[in-house]
Chain A
Amino acid sequence: MKTPTFMLITIAWRNLWRNHRRSLIMLTAIAIGLWGMIWMTALMRGMVDQMIDSAINTLSGHVQIHAEGFLDDPSIERTLPPVRDNPALQSLLDSARVTHWSERIRVPAVIRSERDVLGVTLVGIDPQQESGLSFIADSVTEGEYLAGVDDRHVLVGRKLLERLETKSGRRIVLMSQDPDNNIAERGFRIGGVFDTDLQVTETSYVFAGIETVRAMLKMGDGVSEISLLGPDYRNLDALAADVRAAAGKADTKTWLELDPYMATMLGVMDGVILIWFSIIFVALSFGLVNTLLMAVFERTREIGLLQALGMPPANILIMVLVESLIMLLIGLLAGNLLSWLTILPIQDGIDISGVAAGLEWAGMSSTLLPAVKSSDVLLANAIVLVLGIAASLFPAWRASRKVPVEAITRIWQ
């Protein structure tokens, strides 16, 4: 059948502009609705990305290996053999599937300055291996990063430094227990100070060279933790399974398993985005259905005329849908433009330090980076378009089906 598509589009287009005000209001609503969807997801995404980032960055990595029981009781006796004693693990860690990895010693300790004594976690690291894996190499803002595994300096957080009322270059004493339950104590000089978005990180960790820590604790070559990064924080299951197999009798966990709170949080975020989308969409579709029904109702006679002249009912349905489609497309175009224009200037992040202080425990930092993902933008557009057309079906069907007999006979009088 010959469908005079062009004529349908012409009529639909002109009909759209007959009631300027109503159409403009609807277009604005669609644009703002889309803008709201894109913004909300960008902010949520930004927040989640940051939370994940800081979770992974802090120390967990993508996958961690510990000795069995270490996570429940992180004491010095629970160690793993070093990676070089396990060729299978060594070759996996050195393969292209792992971008960074490192061994660490991790013990509860007490740090003492001239002024104060505080509890911390002492982390012995391999400075070379550690850089790129965790935040520490990039966060030293004063003094120097550690030079090697037997560097005799320590790195402390800015906040801890303040609490201890000491300075970079001064001496502190670290105290812990060695494997034989004797007190192990050693003086260090503060070689560098690190700054992070999260205070809790600054107050919790003190870093030193791994061999220095081993010497202080009079322990052998065991390690308390192996941490590694894969290419992507999602889809870690296969890598984690292989690491688990290679590590043998040990406790291998992904960052999500290590941080069940984060996993829950991610689920909640997805739910919030979905609810937000639904609310916006329901509001939009009420507007759309109402606008179109009004338009169809006002044009009852006219639609009757079209039918009387021989326009098939299907074409009338298409005509109303085309009108809706044009409105949706213009609205979406405007909405995308608006989103782009408003997100562009804040690509570097929004300062939310005012409200973030209370949220630090959740892993939020003081600047919020909106993360615009093209798949989110496409999804928002697709939702508005597809459901918008679906919402227009009813008014369009009304126009093509219910109206004719009364409408057509009405045009004679």
Chain B
Amino acid sequence: MNNPAVICHKVDKTFQQGELAVHALSGVDLEIASGGFVCLSGPSGSGKTTLLNMIGGLDRPSGGEITVADLRIDRMRMSELAELRLHHIGFVFQAYNLIPVLNARENVEFVMQLQGVAAAKRHALAMDILEEVGLKGMEERRPGELSGGQQQRVAVARAIVSKPALILADEPTANLDSATAEKLMQQMRDLNTHIGTTFVISTHDKLVMSYAKRLIKLHDGKIVDDIAQQ
């Protein structure tokens, strides 16, 4: 079988806040199988975002080892991490997801452009995916001209359009009404089922948790529960 998509081994992350050391993550051991659909939940400040940061190579752990796509990312250089993110990982952030000077379509095309996809092809793909997330007719709008929910859908469209092996999403439904949220989750599950994309999603939303195959609960930077669902 495939190797796990993500392995965290004794991962620690300490933030120094003045005199105070904040242990955002302490001794996290976690293995996420390829094709997993994992939900991270837990109270505010429990370390969900921090853990996603570590897995996405956006920040470095204070201790422990992290392996993504069989690569020890805690040891990689900035430029190598950028390369890995570009070709392997899709992101949906909690907020501030889009490049303000690019319109919806250009934002979706951005990553494909960095990957070197031909113009005609990425244009077609972007138009299709935007229609799928319900933004037909809004392709040429800049982020400032879209609602929070619409912006979030553009971000999801951008994350899934190039079909990366791993998608990390931080509260992707936070700004969405339940109908849109449901539709979005459906799309993610489809992608997961049909092409085996691995998802790691942090959320407070019960709806999102109901879609998860595996539900991990964090508290004070530790995994306190790990439940397989369905």
| Pairwise interchain contact B82-A412, C-beta atoms closer than 8 A | no
**Chain B proximity mask over A195-216: 1 for CB below 8 Å, otherwise 0:** 0000000000000000000000
| Pairwise interchain contact A310-B86, C-beta atoms closer than 8 A | yes
Q: Which residue of B lies closest to A18 (CB)?
A: B101
Number of interface residues, chain A, beta carbon within 8 A? 27
* B170 located at the interface, meaning its Cβ lies under 8 Å from any Cβ of chain A in the complex: yes
| Pairwise interchain contact A409-B114, C-beta atoms closer than 8 A | no
Given the known A-B contacts A4-B114, A7-B110, are A14 and B101 also in contact in the complex, defined by CB atoms under 8 Å? yes
Measured CB to CB, the closest approach of chain B to A134, in angstroms, equals: 66
| A interface secondary structure, majority | helix
Q: Which of A15, A309, A411 contacts B114 (CB 8 A)?
A: A309
| Pairwise interchain contact A313-B99, C-beta atoms closer than 8 A | no
Task: State the CA gap A404–B53 with chains docked (Å).
Answer: 12
Task: State the CA gap A370–B60 with chains docked (Å).
Answer: 62
**Inside 8 A of A10's CB, which chain B residues have their CB?**
102, 106
**Inside 8 A of A15's CB, which chain B residues have their CB?**
101
Measured CB to CB, the closest approach of chain B to A405, in angstroms, equals: 6
**A window 1-55: CB within 8 A of B:** 2, 4, 7, 10-11, 14-15, 18
Q: Which of A11, A18, A302, A311 contacts B82 (CB 8 A)?
A: A311
| Pairwise interchain contact B93-A411, C-beta atoms closer than 8 A | yes
| Pairwise interchain contact A309-B78, C-beta atoms closer than 8 A | no
* B23 located at the interface, meaning its Cβ lies under 8 Å from any Cβ of chain A in the complex: no
| Pairwise interchain contact B82-A2, C-beta atoms closer than 8 A | no
Task: State the CA gap A309–B106 with chains docked (Å).
Answer: 14
Q: Which residue of A lies closest to B202 (CB)?
A: A412
Q: Which of B53, B85, B87, B113 contacts A409 (CB 8 A)?
A: B53
| Pairwise interchain contact A310-B87, C-beta atoms closer than 8 A | yes
Task: State the CA gap A107–B108 with chains docked (Å).
Answer: 90
| Pairwise interchain contact A413-B49, C-beta atoms closer than 8 A | yes
Task: State the CA gap A302–B102 with chains docked (Å).
Answer: 12
Given the known A-B contacts A4-B113, A408-B58, A412-B93, are A312 and B79 also in contact in the complex, defined by CB atoms under 8 Å? yes
| Pairwise interchain contact B56-A310, C-beta atoms closer than 8 A | no
Measured CB to CB, the closest approach of chain B to A56, in angstroms, equals: 59
Given the known A-B contacts A4-B116, A412-B94, are A307 and B99 also in contact in the complex, defined by CB atoms under 8 Å? no
* A301 located at the interface, meaning its Cβ lies under 8 Å from any Cβ of chain B in the complex: yes
* A308 located at the interface, meaning its Cβ lies under 8 Å from any Cβ of chain B in the complex: yes
* A263 located at the interface, meaning its Cβ lies under 8 Å from any Cβ of chain B in the complex: no
* A274 located at the interface, meaning its Cβ lies under 8 Å from any Cβ of chain B in the complex: no
* B111 located at the interface, meaning its Cβ lies under 8 Å from any Cβ of chain A in the complex: yes
**Inside 8 A of A310's CB, which chain B residues have their CB?**
82-87, 89, 111, 114
**Chain B proximity mask over A306-331: 1 for CB below 8 Å, otherwise 0:** 11111111100000000000000000
Q: A18-B100, A302-B100, A308-B93 provided; 11 other pairs, C-beta below 8 A?
A: A2-B116, A4-B116, A14-B101, A15-B101, A306-B99, A309-B111, A310-B111, A311-B82, A404-B78, A408-B59, A409-B53
In the A-B complex, the 8 residue pairs with the closest CB atoms:
A310-B86, A14-B101, A2-B116, A310-B85, A408-B58, A412-B49, A4-B113, A312-B82
26 A–B contacts, CB within 8 A, in A order: A7-B110, A7-B114, A10-B106, A11-B101, A11-B102, A14-B102, A302-B96, A302-B99, A302-B100, A305-B99, A307-B82, A308-B93, A309-B110, A310-B87, A310-B111, A310-B114, A311-B114, A314-B79, A404-B78, A405-B58, A405-B60, A408-B53, A409-B58, A411-B93, A412-B53, A412-B95
Listed in ascending order, the chain A residues whose CB lies under 8 Å from chain B are: 2, 4, 7, 10-11, 14-15, 18, 301-302, 305-314, 404-405, 408-409, 411-413
